């Protein structure tokens, strides 16, 4: 059996054809692809796409089919073993490396993110329940978080991982609170300060581990994924010491179905270094003795349309971005957004919102949807 035939036999389980005529079928432009994929696994799949060795008209659906069939478990390369061992034995998200993710990913360029995201620049899953556009869905998500946190005028709120300040701005304008937002991205902090000018919002370039002051409520959106499995307890310790006795902590995060100590090698190298999608077990172990889980809401299927909207915006803006970023970046970013969309469509990943209290709310908590 040739390498091509063997690879096709694996792809048959996902109903994906090499050279097929359906939108999710793979078109091979370089015959060296077969050997490269079989020896290099996930890393080779992404890098060969960046190199232009293959294409798929509907890349998101290609990944939906591959991930839903669990094909990745059968082709996991032996080359990933050292990577997993290194992640298990070291703390790649230690404090001395806290600003690496900001420099690598979030500091790429505000022009890129302004073009790709909604008008409030919210870089996390939107809430599409009653929304027709990305702007509407992101605003619905922000309001959902505020209602879950039971915000009221005069409260002081902490936003751990505040991005470009969109949530802090929304909380101040719509709910009459003051806010402190922390980020490890210089570019995010600079633009966020411009966007919240005139509001009772402070934006800090600061690692979450340095926080030690009290707030009436805490929110954290799309940041827990950068904490790392060795730091989950520290993260929740910080949140507990900063939260008032009767306050609520709303945690918005991508979540995985299985525990791991390292993420996808390609995503780690090119998109999110030192990051990890947490599992339910890892999260509940870290929460034990620190917080009471008042609510756990999964709306991961909404990340699929969010990512597809981001790609549509990015693709439409590419003519004015291409001179700065280049063709290889385009293929890398397209692969990132559409592969992730397929992953959420396949239910390979989830999106959780947890509502946490220090000691359990007297009388209980009524879920907000």
What SS3 class is residue 306? Answer: helix
Q: Are 24 and 133 in a shared domain?
A: no
pLDDT one-digit tens code per residue, 26-56: 999 999 999 999 999 999 999 999 999 999 9
Considering 78, 110, 138, which residue would you say is the last residue of a domain? Answer: 78
Q: Which of 160, 295, 152 is nearest to 231 (CA)?
A: 160
Please report whether residue 317 resides in a domain: yes
pLDDT at 179: 98
Please report whether residue 123 resides in a domain: yes
pLDDT one-digit tens code per residue, 257-313: 999 999 999 999 999 998 999 999 999 999 999 999 999 999 999 999 999 999 999
pLDDT at 101: 82
What SS3 class is residue 307? Answer: helix
Beta-strand pair 215-221/178-183: unpaired
Q: Are 179 and 293 in a shared domain?
A: yes
Q: Are 14 and 109 in a shared domain?
A: no
Please report whether residue 90 resides in a domain: no
Question: Which domain covers residue 21, as residue numbers?
Answer: 3-78
Q: Are 66 and 104 in a shared domain?
A: no
pLDDT at 102: 85
pLDDT at 132: 98
pLDDT(94) > 70: no
Rounded Cα distance, 39 and 3, in Å: 11
Q: Are 73 and 160 in a shared domain?
A: no
* Exposure string over 273-312, b if 16+ CB within 10 A, otherwise e: bbbbbbbbebbeebbeebbeebbbbebbebbbbbbbbbbe
Number of domains in the chain: 2
What does the pLDDT average to over 19-24?
Answer: 98
* Exposure string over 326-345, b if 16+ CB within 10 A, otherwise e: eeebbbbbbbbbbbbbbbbb
What SS3 class is residue 46? Answer: helix
pLDDT(188) > 90: yes
To the query of whether residue 340 is one of the catalytic residues in this protein, the response is yes
Q: Are 225 and 350 in a shared domain?
A: yes
What does the pLDDT average to over 5-10?
Answer: 96
pLDDT one-digit tens code per residue, 200-209: 999 999 999 9
Q: Are 74 and 121 in a shared domain?
A: no
pLDDT at 81: 42
**H or E element in which residue 345 lies:** helix 327-345
Q: What is the pTM of this model?
A: 0.93
What does the pLDDT average to over 192-212?
Answer: 98
pLDDT at 78: 42
Backbone phi and psi for residue 167, each to the nearest 5 degrees, phi listed first: -70, -45
Find the catalytic residue in 125, 146, 242, 340.
340
Contact 150, 72 (CB under 8 A): no
Mean pLDDT score of the chain:
94
Rounded Cα distance, 184 and 57, in Å: 36
pLDDT at 215: 98
Q: Are 154 and 16 in a shared domain?
A: no
Please report whether residue 181 resides in a domain: yes
Please report whether residue 94 resides in a domain: no
pLDDT at 91: 54
Q: Are 310 and 163 in a shared domain?
A: yes
Contact 248, 150 (CB under 8 A): yes
- The encoded tokens of residue 320 equal 């004015």
Contact 236, 208 (CB under 8 A): no
Report the CATH number that the domain containing residue 142 is assigned in CATH.
3.40.50.150
- The encoded tokens of residue 363 equal 């009388």
Q: Are 119 and 19 in a shared domain?
A: no
Burial class from Cβ neighbours inside 10 Å (0-12, 13-18, 19+) for residue 348 reads buried
- Residue 316's contacts (CB-CB under 8 Å, 6 or more residues apart) are none
Considering 33, 48, 78, which residue would you say is the last residue of a domain? Answer: 78
pLDDT one-digit tens code per residue, 49-92: 999 999 999 999 999 999 999 987 766 544 444 444 344 454 55
Please report whether residue 83 resides in a domain: no
pLDDT at 65: 98
Considering 12, 45, 78, which residue would you say is the last residue of a domain? Answer: 78
Please report whether residue 116 resides in a domain: yes
A 10 A CB-CB count for 130 gives: 8
Q: Are 149 and 23 in a shared domain?
A: no
pLDDT one-digit tens code per residue, 117-153: 999 999 999 999 999 999 999 999 999 999 999 999 9
Q: Are 269 and 341 in a shared domain?
A: yes
Q: Which long-range contacts (CB under 8 A, 24 or more apart) does 9-14 make?
A: 10/71, 10/74, 10/75, 11/66, 11/71, 13/69, 13/71, 14/65, 14/66, 14/68, 14/69, 14/71
pLDDT band at 115 (very low <50, low <70, confident <90, very high): very high
Please report whether residue 305 resides in a domain: yes
Listing DSSP states for 82-120 in one string gives HHHHHHHHS-TT-GGGTTHHIIIIITS-HHHHHHHS-TT
């Amino acid at each position: 059996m040739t390498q091509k035939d063997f690879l096709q036999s694996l792809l048959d389980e996902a109903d994906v054809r090499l050279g097929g005529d359906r939108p999710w079928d793979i078109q091979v432009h370089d015959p060296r692809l077969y050997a490269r994929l079989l020896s290099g696994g996930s890393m080779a799949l992404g890098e060969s796409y960046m190199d232009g060795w293959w294409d798929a008209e509907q890349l998101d659906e290609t990944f939906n089919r591959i991930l839903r069939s669990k094909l990745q478990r059968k082709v996991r390369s032996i080359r990933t073993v050292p990577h997993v061992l290194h992640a298990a034995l070291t703390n790649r998200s230690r404090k001395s490396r806290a600003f690496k993710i900001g420099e690598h990913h979030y500091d790429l360029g505000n022009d890129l993110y302004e073009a790709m995201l909604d008008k409030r620049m919210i870089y996390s899953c939107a809430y599409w329940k009653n929304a027709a556009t990305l702007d509407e869905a992101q605003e619905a998500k922000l309001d959902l978080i505020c209602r879950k946190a039971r915000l009221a005028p005069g409260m002081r709120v902490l936003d751990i991982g505040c991005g470009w300040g969109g949530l802090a701005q929304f909380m101040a304008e719509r709910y009459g609170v003051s806010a402190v937002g922390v980020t490890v991205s210089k570019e995010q902090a600079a633009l966020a300060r411009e966007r919240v000018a005139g509001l009772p919002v402070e934006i800090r370039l600061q690692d979450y581990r340095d926080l030690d002051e009290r707030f009436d409520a805490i929110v954290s959106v799309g940041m827990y994924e950068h904490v790392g499995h060795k730091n989950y307890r520290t993260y929740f310790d910080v949140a507990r010491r900063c939260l008032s006795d009767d306050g609520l902590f709303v945690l918005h995060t991508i979540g995985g179905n299985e525990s791991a100590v390292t993420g996808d090698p390609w995503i780690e190298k090119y998109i999110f270094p030192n990051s990890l999608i947490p599992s339910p077990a890892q999260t509940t172990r870290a929460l034990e003795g620190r917080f009471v889980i008042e609510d756990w809401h999964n709306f991961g299927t909404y990340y699929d349309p969010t990512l597809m909207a981001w790609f549509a915006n990015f693709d439409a803006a590419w003519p004015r971005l291409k001179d700065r970023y280049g063709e290889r970046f385009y293929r890398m970013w397209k692969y990132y957004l559409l592969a992730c969309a397929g992953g959420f469509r396949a239910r390979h990943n989830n999106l959780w919102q947890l509502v946490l209290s220090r000691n359990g709310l007297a009388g209980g908590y009524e879920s907000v949807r």
